[in-house]
Amino acid sequence: MWDNSYYGVIIMPKYKDELGQFIAQSCPHGIKPTRNCRECRREASRNHYQKHKDGENSRKKEYLRRNPEKRRAHNYVLYHKLPLASKCEFCLNVENLERHHPDYDYPEIFITCCSLCHSNADKTTEEI
């Protein structure tokens, strides 16, 4: 078994059966393959956090220290309870909605978009 601790996911090695086809080893809960088991993913995530929590907390603090405008925008939205639109403004998807701030100096102005469009919008904003 190989533990990919960076992602917090346990990946089971593949084995070949008698016919030479690859098969995945099942998890202790009986679900094949292990990466599809919610309990195994949760356990791996908890183990990863316990093992690396000091480093993760220091990275979070450093990120917030370097990006105070992002923290202010996030806190502004939480404090004022600004609602999201009912669908993504780019692709009209209704799942995984997030707020995209084109300019962090104006935290009250944001675009509601799905996670995929949000990552694309961030890439476009960085290029400008």
**The pair of three-digit structure tokens given for residue 106, joined into one six-digit string:** 């104006």
- pLDDT tens for 38-51 read 788 888 888 888 88
Per-residue confidence (pLDDT) for residue 88, from 0 to 100? 92
Same domain for 29 and 11: yes
Share above pLDDT 70 across residues of the chain, in percent, rounded to a whole number? 70
Q: Considering its fold, how many domains does the chain have in total? A: 2
Does residue 122 carry a pLDDT above 80? yes
**What mean pLDDT value characterizes the chain?**
78
Same domain for 103 and 77: yes
Per-residue confidence (pLDDT) for residue 3, from 0 to 100? 47
Residues 6 or more apart whose CB falls under 8 angstroms from that of 113 comprise: 88, 89, 90, 91, 97, 98, 100, 121
Same domain for 33 and 82: no
Same domain for 105 and 58: no
Q: How far is it between the farthest Cα atoms of the chain?
A: 63
Please give the residue range of the domain that contains residue 91: 68-127
Residues 6 or more apart whose CB falls under 8 angstroms from that of 28 comprise: 40
- pLDDT tens for 92-115 read 989 989 999 988 889 889 999 999
Same domain for 49 and 76: no
